Chain A
Amino acid sequence: MRDVSIIGIGQTPVREHWEKDLRQLATAAVLAALQDAHVDQVDAIYVGNMLSGELTRQEHLGALIADQLGMSGVAAMKVEAACGAGGSAVHAGYLAIASGQYRRVAVVGVEKMTDLWNGSVTAGLAMAADGEYEAANGISFVGLNALMMRRYMYEYDLVEEDFAPFALNAHKNAVHNPNAMFRKSVTLEQFTKAKKVADPISLFDASPVCDGAAALILSRSENLNGNAARAVAIQASALATDTLALHDRQDPLWLRAVELSSIKAYAQAGVTPQDINLFELHDAFSIVAPMSLEAAGFAPRGAGTYLARDGGISLYGKLPISTMGGLKARGHPIGASGVYQVVEATQQLRGEAGKNQVPNARIAMTQSLGGVAATAATHILKGKN
């Protein structure tokens, strides 16, 4: 296995991009990453995306994006793992280089969601779960998370407000991220008064429907093309799965795929949770944050929300999370989010996170989840300083 490094990052702002389509977003992000890496060619392209066919009537994104980049001829393919498509594409790109097959690859996550109205997007997202036994019964994706959250609150004797720090922290961090969708902080009062989408999940517990693309240039660590000073090493790339349907889990309150991929990642990187300086987790819904913290080994079972108390997850806390706004406030363009996480972690490890810089950030972890964490793609990155 060869060592793999990130030598370039690129992203579009996360927005409702009325004037841009999927190919424009993806191309813009890759061009920015190529420029950042000072290279103009890759051997392969991995496109993380979930719903291009459903929402924009376009599949075959590998050939499309290679063509749009003027790189027709290279290997290219789409990687789909629902909301975990981005992290899974990074995993594919990592393996392509680690295996020795390719020297340099581009990974781009892209999602164009706003061309269809809300009900179609809701129905599309529900395909992340079991189509025949969850979606077919009218159970939306937010519905599944609400089912988990209600039971979680019941088991651990919590109230909605206990989840507020996750949303408040994400929104606070998004203020200084120019690429974030919601650059406004949220007060506890706003949080508690927010409209319920699927109780107990309110508007501020859920990530928005939006468009965006983020890209990475991955390279063999032995030849960084002059990018040695800013290169970030991928020390672990680990994918794991759980039952697709929430109802098939022995323990619906335990994210087994998160646990498995985290354990694998810690082993690969030779680190423990205590070594992680910041964690870009998959806060598509508030409930996923504490459950991820628990399954990834940062908090005991049922105690995930405690970690968020008293600024524990802020930029200066014990474990900074969602440092650029997270899925909640940077936005969650489904198949792109997992790549945004790695882009943002790279910014932190390079010391380029501006006002959101986590002090002394040396090791970062990202975790991209598909469905109700039926796929978990965990990456551990290490910077130079």
Chain B
Amino acid sequence: MADNLAPHWRLRAQRYQLVGNVCLKCDAKFFPPRQVCAKCRGTEFDLFQFSGRGELYSFTTLRSAPAGFEQYAPYSVGMIKLDEGPMVEAMLTDVNEDKLTIGMRVEMVTRKIREEDGERGLLVYGYKFRPSDA
């Protein structure tokens, strides 16, 4: 039997499409979506799909990976300031670490994030970011 199917499945809209939400009261946009607005504590929202475009706020390259990610190490991760406002953290792909700079334009791509349970388990897909001109 495979574990952890539902938790990954629940997040598919966030992982595959960067679906967050927007507060109907104060227009603040959130990724991931929230139940209570962090700005005005409003509780009514519309879903909002982010464009996936933004700029690199910060980055690093991990030499040793958490369990489940060993096969990808070393890999770079970053904080991305989306054009619509919110920040996301994600792995960076299709880029050599010496080319990373703060402020560089990046775009969302859908990639394999990890494999559950080696060759038997679920393949987990989600957002990563790459330089827009990569």
Give A residues with C-beta under 8 Å from B.
118-120, 122-123, 126, 132-140, 142-144, 146-148, 150-151, 154, 195-201, 243, 245-249, 252
Contacts and interface: CB of A to CB of B under 8 A. Distances in A.
A144 B78 CA distance: 9
Contact of B60 (A118, A135, A137, A150): A150
Interface string B108-134: 000001100000000000100000000
A129 B61 CA distance: 18
Contact of A201 (B7, B60, B88): B60
A78 to B, nearest CB: 23
A370 to B, nearest CB: 18
Most buried by B among A138, A142, A201, A246: A138
A132 B77 contact: no
Contacts of B57: 151, 252
20 contacts: A119-B68, A120-B67, A123-B67, A133-B32, A137-B77, A137-B89, A138-B69, A138-B114, A139-B62, A139-B91, A143-B62, A143-B77, A146-B62, A147-B59, A151-B58, A151-B79, A196-B63, A199-B60, A243-B38, A246-B89
Interface of B: 7, 11, 14, 32, 38, 57-70, 72, 75, 77-79, 86-91, 102, 113-114, 126
Contacts, number: 107
Contacts of B72: 138
Given A132-B32, A142-B62, A247-B89, 6 more contacts: A133-B14, A136-B126, A138-B77, A151-B79, A195-B63, A248-B87
A249 to B, nearest CB: 8
Contacts of B70: 119
B6 to A, nearest CB: 13
A133 B34 CA distance: 13
A144 B67 CA distance: 16
B18 to A, nearest CB: 11
Contacts of A148: 58
A147 B77 contact: yes
A250 B67 CA distance: 30
A201 B114 CA distance: 25
Contacts of B68: 119, 123, 138
A126 B114 CA distance: 16
- Pairs A-B, 4 closest by C-beta atoms: A146-B60, A123-B66, A151-B58, A119-B67
B102 A137 contact: no
A147 B64 contact: no
Contact of B113 (A118, A137, A198): A137
Contact of B79 (A118, A142, A147, A243): A147
A275 B65 CA distance: 43
Contacts of A122: 64-67
A126 B69 CA distance: 12
Interface centre among A126, A150, A199, A247 (most CB of B within 10 A): A247
Contacts of A151: 57-58, 79, 102
A198 B58 contact: no
